[in-house]
Amino acid sequence: MAGSEQLQAIRYRRGHLELLDQRKLPHETTYIDIKDAAAGWTAIQDMVVRGAPAIAIAAALALAVEVERLKPVSGNGLAAVNFLKNRLDYLVSSRPTAVNLADAATTLLKLSQKAADEGADAAAVYETYLEGAEKMLDADVASNKAIGAFGADALLQGSTASGNGMRVLTHCNTGSLATSAYGTALGVIRALHAQGKLETAICTETRPYNQGSRLTAFELVHDKIPAVLVADSAAASMKSLGRVDAVVVGADRIAANGDTANKIGTYSLAISAFHHGVPFYVAAPLTSIDTAIKSGEEIIIEQRSPKELTHAHGGQGTQIAANGVGVWNPAFDVTPARLITGIITDQGVITKAANSDVFDIPAFIAES
Ligand code: MRU
């Protein structure tokens, strides 16, 4: 991919969806044609596309491509809604932890149901679905830009960094490859860089799937943002040496009290940040918040294939572990709210009341 080209995980025009095969990055830039919900499900499950917002948009658009072919078929609006519900339920089952996909499915189904209730026939219901899914792509970019702006302000306000700008550590990949463009936590880093207030982005490898070394490092180099790659296990030491001014990570699901599920390893980064007095922020759109759950205890954590640990390159490479060893490979962990300084959303930054260990997210949503 040429340096000047914008990184795009999702390429869409009506009737056509292509997903960048992120399993092949940073070596190869190959797009896969997605023709229906089944192909979308497999692409999400196999990590062709990953990252909570990107998964939601890719799923919605995979079904949009299928629906575009069905539009000429005449029929009853309610039958079309039933078809959409069935396909959306199936897509939601592809990866369980991130809430964005379930949230997108609920929104699109409600829109389609409303159209049918108002008398739309199947073609009109499908058109409503298509327009709703297409809007999500643009809305995500706007939401990421807002997160970037709010986040840069929040980090700078709490910063004691020198005149050279901030040194900000991030985990996993939350950039253009994990969203429709720009990114959430990486969007905050992009915004700081654009303002001339970033000394260095520090990205962790993010074992075992290496989203940090394969994807975030690639994005940072591509965008010429000064960056340092560290092993996950080096992050605590770096903080102890005073070389990290803030940590900002993404989220897959945030409970009503602020407990946050994100890529495995986030919890240990939060513990070491807390220990060394380094501000620790979560950056995510409001669609990553699940107010239906009170705390992180209710979040279902996806377990992934042992091969991601026993074999190099996310399970695609040479075997590196002894045959017969047991493996525990959770894709995510939950960071308790008490370790989180603030939650940067597209509607502003959520903070905790004085003397409280948790966030009151429903109150923030009601006011925003
Ligand atoms: O398993 P992945 O690569 O989908 O995990 C991604 C993360 O954990 C991200 O931090 C999260 O989805 C936010 S992406 C903006």
Q: Are 270 and 234 in contact (CB under 8 A)?
A: no
Percent of the chain with pLDDT over 70: 99
206: left (phi over 0), alpha (psi -120 to 50) or beta: left
174 lines ligand 1 (CB under 6 A): yes
In angstroms, what is the span from residue 131 Cα to ligand 1's centroid? 26
Nearest to 273 by CA among 353, 167, 180: 167
CA 53 to centroid of ligand 1, rounded, Å: 8
Give the ranges where the chain is alpha helix by DSSP (H): 37-45, 52-70, 77-92, 100-117, 122-157, 185-194, 211, 217-222, 235-240, 266-275, 307-310, 361-367
pLDDT > 90? residue 95: yes
Dist. CA 339–CA 229, nearest whole Å: 24
Residue 215 reports pLDDT greater than 90:
yes
Q: Which residue would you say has higher pLDDT here, 75 or 246?
A: 246
**Rounded mean pLDDT, 165-188:** 97
Q: For 278-318, how does the pLDDT look when each residue is reduced to its tens digit (9 = 90+)? A: 999 999 999 999 999 999 999 999 999 999 999 998 898 99
Does the beta carbon of 179 lie inside 6 Å of ligand 1? yes
- pLDDT value, residue 345: 98
- Stretch 225-240: mean pLDDT, rounded? 98
Ligand 1 centroid to Cα of residue 175, in Å, is 10
- Cβ of 265 less than 6 Å from ligand 1: no
Which segment of 2-16, 39-53, 239-253, 288-302 scores lowest on mean pLDDT? 2-16
**Separate counts of helices (H) and strands (E) for the chain:** 12, 14
Residue having the nearest C-alpha atom to atom 8 of ligand 1: 263
Q: Over the chain, what is the mean pLDDT?
A: 96
Given pLDDT bands bounded at 50, 70 and 90, which one contains residue 3?
very low
pLDDT at 161 over 80: no
Q: Residue 260: CB within 6 Å of ligand 1?
A: no
- Cβ of 172 less than 6 Å from ligand 1: yes
Nearest C-alpha to atom 6 of ligand 1 is from which residue?
A: 51
Least confident of 74-78, 177-181, 246-250, 262-266: 74-78
**Is it the case that residue 173 has pLDDT exceeding 60?**
yes
**pLDDT over threshold 80, residue 273:** yes
Cα of 5 from ligand 1 centre, angstroms: 23
Any ligand 1 atom below 6 A from CB of 184? yes
pLDDT at 250 over 80: yes
Residue 1 has pLDDT above 60, yes or no: no
Question: Of 21, 46, 49, 172, which is best to mutate to test ligand 1, by the most ligand atoms within 8 angstroms of its C-beta?
Answer: 172
Site to substitute for ligand 1 among 7, 19, 45, 50, most atoms within 8 A of C-beta: 50
Residue 64 CA to chain centroid, in angstroms? 21
Average pLDDT over residues 217-241: 98
Q: How far is the CA of 75 from the centre of ligand 1 (A)?
A: 39
- State pLDDT tens for residues 36-91: 999 999 999 999 999 999 999 999 999 999 999 988 777 999 999 999 999 999 99
CA distance 368 to 356: 21
Model confidence at 5, in pLDDT bands (50, 70, 90)? Answer: low
pLDDT of 177 over the 80 cut:
yes
Q: Is the CB of 151 under 6 A from ligand 1?
A: no
Distance 70 CA to ligand 1 centre (A): 32
Cα 34 to the chain's mean position, in Å? 20
Q: Are 101 and 63 in contact (CB under 8 A)?
A: no
For residue 214, pLDDT beyond 90? yes
pLDDT above 50 (res 165): yes
Tens of pLDDT, residues 96-115: 999 999 999 999 999 999 99
Name the residues annotated as catalytic.
252
Name the pLDDT band for 6 (thresholds 50, 70, 90).
Answer: confident
Q: Residue range 141-161: average pLDDT?
A: 94
Query: 174, 185 in Cβ contact below 8 A?
Result: yes
What one-letter code names the amino acid at 286? L
Q: What is the pLDDT of residue 158?
A: 80
- Complex prediction ipTM: 0.99
Residue 334: its H or E element: strand 332-335
State if pTM tops 0.80. Answer: yes
Q: What is the pLDDT of residues 303-359, one digit of tens each?
A: 999 999 999 988 989 999 999 999 999 999 999 999 999 999 999 999 999 999 999
Is 57 touching ligand 1 by the criterion CB < 6 Å? no
Residue nearest to atom 10 of ligand 1 (CA): 250
262 CB near ligand 1 (under 6 Å):
yes
Cα 258 to averaged position of ligand 1 atoms, centre (Å): 17
